Amino acid sequence: MTQHNHILNSIQPNARNLAVLIDPDKMTVDAVATFITQVNQSYATHIFVGGSEVSEGLTEILVLEIKKHTDLPVILFPGDVIQITDKADGILFLSLISGRNPDYLIGKQVEAVSKLVKTNLEVIPTGYILIENGKETAVQRVSETDPIPRHALQTIIDTAVAGALLGMKLIYLEAGSGALHAIDPHIISQVKAQINIPLIVGGGLRSKAEIETAYKAGADVVVIGTAFENDQSFFNALKS
């Protein structure tokens, strides 16, 4: 657990930062080399590794394999404490601030400390905000929390600002993996206007046009998982 800010500083403001999400539950070790070759040919800037439900030990095996093929920073995006491994570079230290489940607001974080102190991971305090997308998400099910309705704009903004005021270093607006309805551009722009920390946006973004819209609205980092899982040729549309 370190205080350095290399990864945080690697998020260039107002640039097209792209995080590719690898879910250890959906990627086999054998598939990593080919997948990362494609990542390396795209303009991806970061690799996130995580999922809502991942078996113990899988994350470490996958991270070790990913690191063999790329120099991009590998950042844990954990649904639970068992996904922590010191083989990654950093960790989004998530607090699910859209929800009201104490385990996901502070419980898991306390549980994580005894593991984190034994690592060199860059710990990045992240306010994680789940927004309703038209269908139930794995995050909602696992955390037993309700997302914020997507029409409750002021609640979404106030939640993000509260996270920033609490000292969080990133705000992550999440529609959920495979979301039917990605985060609306007007939500992105209104949140962005009220915070001065980087804004991550993910969930349900499937086309180059949707990704561009998210950047234009003010997303500093866009996260793509499902679109690459479904069709690796999508990387061709995002060449560096």
Instruction: Label residue 144 left, alpha or beta by phi (over 0 means left) and psi (-120 to 50 means alpha).
Output: left
Q: Is 233 annotated as a binding residue?
A: no
- Residue 201: strand pairing partners: 173, 222
With CA atoms as reference, report the closest residue to 203 among 167, 152, 150: 150
Q: Considering beta carbons, is residue 79 or 218 the nearer one to Mg ion?
A: 79
What residues contact residue 75 under an 8 Å CB cut-off, 6+ apart?
A: 7, 19, 46, 47, 48, 49, 88, 89, 90, 91, 92, 124
Residue 146 contacts residue 99 (beta carbons within 8 Å): yes
The binding site for ligand 1GP (CB under 6 A) comprises: 21, 174, 177-179, 202-205, 223-227
Least distance CB 19 / ligand GRG (angstroms): 11
What residues contact residue 209 under an 8 Å CB cut-off, 6+ apart?
A: none
Give the helix/strand (H/E) hosting 62: helix 58-69
Judged by CB under 5 A, the stretch of 20-28, 110-118, 148-156, 230-238 that binds Mg ion is: 20-28
Q: Considering beta carbons, is residue 120 or 230 the nearer one to ligand 1GP?
A: 230
> x/- site string to ligand GRG, residues 25 to 44, per CB under 6 A?
x-------------------
Q: Which does 156 bind (CB under 5 to 8 A by kind): ligand 1GP, ligand GRG, Mg ion, none?
A: none
Q: Is 158 annotated as a binding residue?
A: no
The length of the chain is: 240
Annotated binding site: which residue ranges? 23, 52, 172-178, 203-204, 225-226
- Which residue ranges make up the site for ligand GRG (CB under 6 A)? 23, 25, 50-52, 77-81, 84, 93-96, 104, 108-109, 112, 128, 138-139, 142-143, 177-178
Annotated binding site for Mg(2+): which residue ranges? 23, 52
